[in-house]
Amino acid sequence: MPIVLRCDPKLLEKDLKDQVVIVTGANSGCGLETSRQLSKQGATVVLACRNGERGEAAAREVNGVFIAPLDLSSLESVRSFVAAFKSKFDRLDALVNNAGVMACPHATTKDGFKWQFGCSHLAHFLLMQLLTPLLLTMAKKTSKPSRFVALSSVVAGHSTLMGPATVDLDDLNWKSRSYDEFPAYAQSKLCNYLHATEAGNRYPRDKLISCSVHPGWVLSPLDSHVVEKIFGRRAIGKFVADIFRKFFLWKGDMITLKDGAQTTLYCLLEDANKMQSGKFYSQFGVYKDKASKPGGWPMVLVNPNITPELGGKLWEVSEKLVGV
185, 193, 203, 287: which one is catalytic?
A: 185
- For residue 47, give the 3-state DSSP assignment: strand
Q: What backbone phi and psi angles, to 5 degrees, belong to 263?
A: -65, -40
Whether the Cβ atoms of residue 263 and residue 4 lie closer than 8 Å to each other: no
Whether the Cβ atoms of residue 118 and residue 73 lie closer than 8 Å to each other: yes
In the chain, where does DSSP find H-type helix? Answer: 29-40, 52-62, 75-88, 115-116, 123-142, 181-202, 224-231, 235-251, 257-260, 262-269, 310-322
Whether the Cβ atoms of residue 19 and residue 39 lie closer than 8 Å to each other: no
Count of C-beta atoms within a 10 Å radius of residue 44: 19
| 66-105 b/e (C-beta count within 10 Å ≥ 16 → b) | bbbbbbbbbbebbeebbeebeeeeeebbbbbbbbbbbbbe
CA–CA distance, 137 with 207 (Å, rounded to integer): 9
193 in catalytic set? no
**Within 13 Å of residue 152, how many CA atoms lie on the same side as its CB?**
33
316 Cβ neighbours under 8 A, 6+ residues apart: none
Q: Catalytic amino acids?
A: 185
